[in-house]
Amino acid sequence: MSTPAESPEAPADDDADTPEMRGAEPTAAGRRPTAPRILSAVVRRELSTAVLTWSSLALLVGFVGTLLGIAWFGGGVQVGYVSTIIDLLTPLELLIPVIAFAFGYRTILDDDRRGVLDVLRTYPIEPWQVVLGAYAGRSLGLVGIVTAALSFLAFPIVVTESYRPVFYATHTGADSPGLYLRFIVLTACFAMVLLAIAVAISALVSTTRTAIAAVGLGLFALLFGADIGLLFALSRGLIAESSLVGSLAISPLSAYRGLVLETTVAVTAGTGPRTASPLFSAVGLLVWWAGSLAAAAFAVGR
């Protein structure tokens, strides 16, 4: 069985000549296909070669099992939706970057090595459309895995009735599936941002060895470096304590964490000090997403 990092791959010799890409070839009348048609072909190729695979199914099963074990033995699913969110938040901050990078770190690199990019350059399609098509195809698979796994965890909460009196004894708000749905949406958006960063890495490197090294450094920077840097800046007085709430939006992980805490947990815990700015956190994730895709499109254009 292949590892998750290998799952998004397709046969090296046939990738540039899949039925989806042949659908983007000139018609019998000699007319060249339009850019939307080529973009659609790129998305379909990504789905067929990198997403709809047995490895992706195995990844989904493993992801569901991991999250279910964390939530069940942590006691979250026996207590309620918000308690499950609290149990899953930190593990997801570690798991989502790993899964997203495994899905995307060779997206553009493999197309470049196999000559697919050279073929696409002969069609009326812009570099950003190539990146967007490849990203869209893989993001559909990644978001599908994330949402399916988190949605599955809602069933143990629904069938467990004992959580209600415990929850109301310790919280001022009302637990609800709407809060959990909000958590799923935020986690899916977080996964899409991390996938965009992985696609940018795949476009900026030139060899598989370099890609693996870049992924390792990128994961370290995301998982540890950004938060350590913020703590260092705070201790040195580079960031004022009054600006810390907004500064957390600089890191994708702390921005995601702040959004979840402020929009799902804090609304049930009553008034208290703010842990993050939802607006700044949302803008921070948007900047990371758009900037990463722009960098990938620039690299493909070169």
Q: Kindly report, residue by residue over 129-158, the tens digit of the pLDDT.
A: 888 888 988 888 899 889 988 888 877 777
Average pLDDT, the chain: 76
* pLDDT on residue 2: 41
- The residue with tokens 């809602």 is 154
Q: Are 26 and 32 in contact (CB under 8 A)?
A: yes
- The residue with tokens 């965009």 is 196
Q: Give the integer Cα–Cα distance in Å for 294 and 124.
A: 19
Q: How far is CA 221 from CA 34, 217, 254, 279, in A?
A: 40, 6, 12, 23
Residue 228 vs residue 241, higher pLDDT: 228
The answer for residues whose C-beta is within 8 angstroms of residue 67's C-beta and 6 or more apart is 88, 91, 92, 149, 150, 153
**Using 50, 70 and 90 to split pLDDT, how confident is the model at 197?**
very high
DSSP H/E element including 186: helix 177-204
